[in-house]
């Protein structure tokens, strides 16, 4: 079951944008190791979400809000870790 509410559509577009970013980084960037490890992590939690989305029971009652929160939290946490690692590398490269 794939909900098509506006909130879930934003979640799908966010995952699509991150997927395109990671794929373009794998193709065009010089830092392929960084992008490949991020892509593997992205694939793992996307697989978990596909499993969660495949069960209709997860969307009955108020559970759809939890599924939306879970999907958003994976994405936000990944972006925060990526940004902090980028800042850390920038600080180390100046020294």
Give the tens place of pLDDT for each residue, 25-76. 999 999 899 899 999 999 999 999 999 999 888 888 888 899 999 999 999 9
> Residue 62: inside a domain, yes or no?
yes
Query: Which whole number is the average pLDDT over 12-35?
Result: 94
> Residue 1: inside a domain, yes or no?
no
pTM for the whole thing? 0.86
Per-residue pLDDT band at 1 (split at 50, 70, 90): low
For residue 67, the enclosing domain spans 6-94
Per-residue pLDDT band at 92 (split at 50, 70, 90): confident
> Residue 63: inside a domain, yes or no?
yes
Report the number of distinct structural domains present in the chain. Answer: 1
> Residue 48: inside a domain, yes or no?
yes
Judged on CB neighbours under 10 Å (0-12, 13-18, 19+), 5 is exposed
> Which stretches within the chain are classed as H helix?
6-28, 32-53, 63-94
Query: Which whole number is the average pLDDT over 17-27?
Result: 95
> Residue 75: inside a domain, yes or no?
yes
Query: Which whole number is the average pLDDT over 12-37?
Result: 94
Question: Does the pLDDT of residue 21 top 80, yes or no?
Answer: yes
């Amino acid at each position: 079951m794939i909900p098509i509410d506006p909130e879930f559509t934003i979640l799908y577009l966010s995952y699509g944008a991150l997927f395109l970013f990671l794929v373009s980084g794998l193709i065009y960037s010089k830092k392929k190791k960084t992008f490949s490890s991020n892509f593997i992590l992205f694939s793992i939690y996307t697989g978990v979400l596909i499993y969660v989305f495949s069960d209709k029971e997860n969307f009955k009652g108020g559970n759809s809000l939890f599924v939306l929160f879970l999907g958003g939290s994976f994405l936000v946490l990944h972006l925060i870790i990526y940004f902090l690692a980028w800042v850390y590398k920038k600080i180390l490269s100046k020294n």
